[in-house]
């Protein structure tokens, strides 16, 4: 049973501090601070933010933008929306919005606020995340939502006119959609002087955020004389409620952070009082290696340790183990990726070991490839990791780097996601909101011009924008409506003429998930065998169709999934996404039609979206090397693909993962003659012809 609470089920016990995202309480242990019987109102008044109630309301009244700097446990997320409502900001049909970067945070914060206000969730207090709209058009006054959902709402209501105040929470995380949202909100402010913004941010970022909202590139002074709120942002700082964390550093740089982490764990276990240990490493490989070393410990210092891995790709049942209570006399060691830095909160952690690195995505606009590389974390990240030790009582953090390095060499903040990503989806979103001058858009952090230009090129080649970089009609507007990567959306549009929309929508849904295969530890061989049962000669996309057909024929049975090494939760998600996509397809006038067993239609639809990912096998290659048609990059079929070692002559890939080699994930066979048909501007016949006969 999952420890995550889903609204509508039995009410969980709430942790006093709501900021971390996940709320869960596994045991019936009573609240340590002794106010378990205090009234809701008394509990609210104990939160640090309560002292600032009047100040916050005054600043929001008098300033267009208020930046609230508040650390974990201040109570800002749950209290500020309530203060605003009490002060009348939700009167006469208006609404207060509060955005979060993650779905789980939206659900848990909304239910907490609903509970504090004594109202049923979905009435006065509601929330909206993808696939779940728990709001009432008439009744809802305070609405929690992901920033991605608010961006989608702008497509129907560009000025977000139903909201009187919009609070953007966790802005310091600088996620892609938060940054796009902030840029757009600044634009909306010029048109709606009565709108109030509250940006919740961590200390370091507050000043640059204020500078962003203070600057205006044009029309300076136009409404400076008006009677509206002041334009320069107010900054208010609210203290947190975390416990003190004592930090220590290594004296000399370590050469092997995995070994250093393991010996730190053993020495904590040897010398320090009870309390769980949370270790931050970079990925699955690191985690496996560290667990191996701990198991091999020959001095038996590992007695009494319960060692658990934690990363997103881990099956859910294994993930849930980290939430089980630590048995008396034992000590839990959770060896985790960055998932424990923001997305999950672990109670009972007293010691944190921080290796100082994480895997980060970097996008190269020249090759159009996103790379995942191990890179040093920022000081902001290091502080966040350390804070994970001080949630229940004073804790300790062991940094596996020197203090000198932390102070002098570590960068203070990470690179915002928008400067590390492919921008195709982002650009089409802005275009659909009528923002034509993408290069001149006022971003909280500007992406590189190269990345923007590359995104415009890709959209042009897909026929989404025209020679004037305007959205084409209907293609461009239709693709903007579909909440997927534009190349996938193009594939769905093309399926209409090819009569295979049902199949292509299934493929799009599967591709939008991490993986539909169940990858339990030590069962790699069984997984490969299971894959063979569904493998299609045409490639991975058609294999997904076989899996989905089997799933439907089994009456969507979980035991069928289990027997076939398929992730049942992932298949349910496939169904959710399918339902949403079919609804959108119908709205766009795409006929829902199956092509039965005509896989040529499906392959042509994939080609229509992904023609730029075409590759040809090297004529004299013995190791399965391919070259991309676009850039002559050397690439290989990933060993997880059903076409691995089959090496058909012409393929199209869905994505590339780069490690020592560039591997193509999710590959399908095509005929080269389809390429100029799908994209005449992109492929000229004469360019391809000599190769067709070789």
| Nearest CA-CA partner of 96 in 29, 40, 143, 48 | 143
Task: State the nearest-atom distance from the C-beta of 375 to DNA, in Å.
Answer: 10
Cα 540 vs. chain centroid, distance in angstroms?
25
> Is residue 175 close enough to count as binding DNA by CB under 7 A?
yes
Residue 5 vs residues 359, 367, 368: alpha-carbon distances, Å: 29, 42, 39
- With 0-12 / 13-18 / 19 or more C-beta atoms within 10 angstroms meaning exposed / middle / buried, residue 598 is middle
Nearer to DNA, 648 or 672 (CB): 648
Q: Does 372 bind DNA (CB under 7 A)?
A: yes
Residue with smaller CB distance to DNA, 294 or 424: 424
Taking CB under 7 A as the rule, does residue 178 contact DNA? no
- Least distance to DNA, CB of residue 148, Å: 3
Of 479 and 679, the one with the shorter C-beta distance to DNA is: 479
Which residue is it, tokens 């709209």? 133
Q: How far apart are CB 639 and DNA at their closest, in Å?
A: 4
Round to whole Å and give the CA distance between 521 and 532: 19
Q: Where in 470-499 is the site for DNA (CB under 7 A)?
A: 483-485
> Binding DNA by CB under 7 A: which of 512, 554, 600, 647?
512
Q: Is 402 in the site for DNA (CB under 7 A)?
A: no
Q: If binding is defined by CB under 7 A, does position 644 make contact with DNA? A: yes
Per-residue interface string for the shown chain with DNA, residues 49-88, x marking contact by CB under 7 A: ----------------------------------------
State the alpha helices, DSSP H only, in 321-470.
339-342, 379-387, 403-408, 424-432, 449-461
- x/- mask, DNA, residues 224-263, rule CB under 7 A, reads ----------------------------------------
Cα Dmax for the chain:
81
Shortest spacing between CB 462 and DNA, in angstroms: 16
Taking CB under 7 A as the binding criterion, the range among 49-57, 61-69, 278-286, 555-563 that sits at the site for DNA is 278-286
What is the DSSP code string of 624-645? -EEEETTT--EEEE-TTSTTTT
> Is 289 among the residues that bind DNA (CB under 7 A)?
no
Alpha-carbon separation of residue 254 from 251, 323, 373, 410 (angstroms): 9, 31, 19, 16
| Residue selected from 15, 95, 149, 452 as contacting DNA according to rule CB under 7 A | 149
The set of residues, in sequence order, having a beta carbon less than 8 Å from that of 378 and lying 6+ positions away, is: 410, 411, 412, 413, 414
3-state secondary structure of 61: helix
Does 367 bind DNA (CB under 7 A)? Our answer is: no
Residues 519, 313: contact at Cβ < 8 Å? yes
Question: 332 - beta bridge partners?
Answer: 306
User: Applying CB under 7 A, does 658 fall inside the site for DNA?
Assistant: yes
Does 524 contact DNA by CB under 7 A? yes
Shortest Å distance, C-beta 106 to DNA = 7
Instruction: Out of 657, 671, 677, 688, point to the residue binding DNA (CB under 7 A).
Output: 657
What are the residues whose beta carbons fall under 8 Å from the beta carbon of 657, sequence distance 6 or more?
372, 638, 663, 665
Write out the H or E segment, with its range, that includes residue 352: strand 349-354
- For DNA, the closer of residues 72 and 640 by Cβ is 640
378 counts as binding DNA under rule CB under 7 A = no
Q: Is 663 in the site for DNA (CB under 7 A)?
A: yes
Contacts of 243 (CB under 8 A, 6+ apart): 390, 391, 392, 393, 394, 395
Q: Contacting DNA (CB under 7 A), which of 311, 357, 568, 650?
A: 311
Tokens for 105, please give them: 């945070």
Residue 659 interacts with DNA (CB under 7 A): yes or no: yes
Burial class (CB in 10 A: 0-12, 13-18, 19+), 226: exposed
**In the complex, what is the shortest distance from the CB of residue 650 to DNA, in angstroms, rounded to a whole number?**
22
108 touching DNA, by CB under 7 A? no
DSSP 488-549: HHHHHHHHHHHT-HHHHHHHHHHHTSS-SB---TT-HHHHHHHHHHH--TTBHHHHHHHHHH
Stretch that binds DNA, among 170-178, 270-278, 430-438, 582-590 (CB under 7 A): 170-178
Binding part of the chain for DNA, among 32-40, 77-85, 112-120, 652-660 by CB under 7 A, reads 652-660
CA-to-CA separations, 82 to 37, 94, 109, 229, 692, in angstroms, rounded: 22, 14, 12, 21, 67
Residue 602 beta carbon to DNA: minimum distance, rounded to whole angstroms: 21
Cβ of residue 342: shortest distance to DNA, in angstroms? 8
Gap between the Cα atoms of 211 and 157, Å rounded: 27
The minimum distance between CB 51 and DNA, in angstroms, equals 31
Q: Which of 102, 241, 391, 396 binds DNA (CB under 7 A)?
A: 102
The verdict on 528 binding DNA (CB under 7 A) reads: yes
In angstroms, what is the minimal distance from the CB of 10 to DNA? Answer: 22
| Residue range at the interface with DNA (CB under 7 A); choices 158-166, 295-303, 400-408, 637-645 | 637-645
Q: What is the DSSP letter of 622?
A: S
Tell me the pairing of strands 395-399 and 349-354. parallel
Spatial distance between the Cα atoms of 97 and 198, rounded to a whole number of angstroms: 10
Peptide bond into 654 cis (omega under 30): no
Of 338 and 478, which has the nearer Cβ to DNA?
338
Q: By CB under 7 A, tell whether 384 contacts DNA.
A: no
Site residues (CB under 7 A) for DNA?
101-104, 129-130, 146, 148-149, 152, 175-177, 282-285, 311-313, 337-339, 343, 358-361, 372, 425, 483-485, 512, 514, 519, 524, 528, 638-640, 644, 657-661, 663
């Amino acid at each position: 049973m999952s420890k995550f609470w889903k609204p509508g089920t039995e009410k969980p016990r709430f942790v006093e501090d709501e900021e971390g995202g996940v709320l869960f309480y596994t045991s019936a242990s009573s609240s340590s601070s002794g106010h378990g019987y205090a009234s809701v109102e008394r509990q609210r008044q104990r939160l640090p933010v309560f002292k600032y109630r009047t100040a916050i309301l005054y600043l929001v009244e008098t300033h267009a933008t208020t930046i609230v700097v508040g650390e974990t446990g201040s109570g800002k997320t749950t209290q500020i929306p309530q203060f605003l409502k009490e002060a009348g900001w939700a009167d006469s049909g208006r609404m207060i919005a509060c955005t979060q970067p993650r779905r789980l945070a939206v659900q848990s914060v909304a239910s907490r606020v609903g509970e504090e206000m004594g109202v049923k969730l979905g009435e006065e207090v509601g929330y909206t995340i993808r696939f779940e709209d728990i709001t009432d058009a008439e009744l809802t006054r305070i609405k929690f939502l992901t920033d991605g959902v608010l961006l989608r709402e702008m497509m129907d209501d560009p000025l977000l006119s139903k909201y009187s105040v919009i609070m953007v929470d966790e802005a310091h995380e600088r996620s892609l959609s938060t940054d796009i949202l902030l840029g757009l909100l600044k634009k909306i402010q010029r048109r709606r002087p009565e709108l109030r913004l509250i940006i919740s941010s961590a200390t370091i970022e507050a000043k640059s955020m204020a500078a962003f909202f203070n600057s205006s590139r044009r029309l300076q002074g136009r409404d400076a004389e008006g009677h509206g709120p002041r334009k320069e942002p107010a900054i208010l700082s609210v203290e947190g409620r975390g416990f003190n964390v004592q930090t220590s550093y290594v004296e000399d740089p370590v050469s092997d952070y995995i070994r250093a982490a393991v010996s730190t764990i053993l020495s904590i276990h040897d010398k320090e009082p009870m309390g769980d240990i949370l270790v931050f490493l970079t990925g699955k490989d690191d985690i496996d290696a560290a667990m191996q070393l701990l198991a091999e410990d020959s001095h038996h210092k590992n007695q009494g340790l319960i060692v658990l891995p934690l990363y997103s790709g881990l099956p859910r049942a294994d993930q849930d183990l980290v939430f089980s209570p630590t048995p008396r006399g034992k000590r839990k060691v959770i060896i985790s990726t960055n998932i424990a830095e923001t997305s999950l909160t672990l109670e009972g952690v007293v010691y944190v070991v921080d290796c100082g690195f994480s895997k980060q995505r970097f996008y190269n606009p020249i090759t159009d490839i996103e790379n995942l590389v191990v890179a040093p974390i920022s000081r902001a990240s290091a502080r966040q990791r350390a804070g994970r030790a001080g949630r229940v009582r004073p804790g300790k953090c062991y940094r596996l780097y020197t203090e000198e390095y932390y102070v002098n060499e570590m960068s203070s903040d990470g690179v915002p996601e928008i400067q590390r990503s492919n921008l195709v989806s982002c650009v089409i979103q802005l275009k659909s909101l009528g923002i034509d001058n993408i290069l001149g858009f006022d971003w909280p952090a500007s992406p590189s011009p190269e990345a923007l230009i590359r995104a415009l090129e890709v959209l042009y080649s897909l026929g989404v924008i025209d020679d004037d970089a305007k959205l084409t009609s209907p293609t461009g507007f239709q693709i903007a409506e579909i909440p997927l990567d534009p190349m996938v959306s193009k594939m769905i549009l093309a399926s209409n003429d090819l009569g295979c929309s049902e199949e292509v929508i299934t493929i799009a849904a599967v591709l939008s998930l991490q993986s539909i295969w169940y990858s339990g530890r030590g069962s790699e061989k069984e997984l490969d065998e299971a894959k063979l049962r569904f493998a299609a000669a045409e490639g991975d996309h058609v294999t997904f169709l076989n899996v989905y057909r089997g799933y439907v024929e089994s009456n969507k049975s979980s035991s069928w999934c289990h027997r076939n090494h398929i992730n049942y939760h992932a298949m349910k998600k496939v169904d959710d996404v399918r339902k949403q996509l079919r609804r959108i397809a119908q709205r766009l006038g795409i006929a829902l039609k199956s092509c039965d067993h005509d896989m040529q239609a499906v392959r042509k639809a994939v080609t229509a979206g992904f023609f730029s990912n075409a590759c040809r096998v090297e004529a004299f290659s013995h190791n399965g090397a391919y070259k991309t048609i676009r850039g002559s990059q050397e690439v290989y079929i990933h060993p997880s693909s059903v076409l691995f070692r089959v090496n058909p002559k012409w393929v199209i890939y869905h994505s590339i993962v780069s490690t020592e080699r560039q591997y193509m994930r999710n590959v399908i066979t095509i005929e080269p003659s389809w390429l100029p048909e799908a994209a005449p501007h992109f492929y000229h016949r004469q360019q391809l012809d000599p190769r067709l006969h070789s």
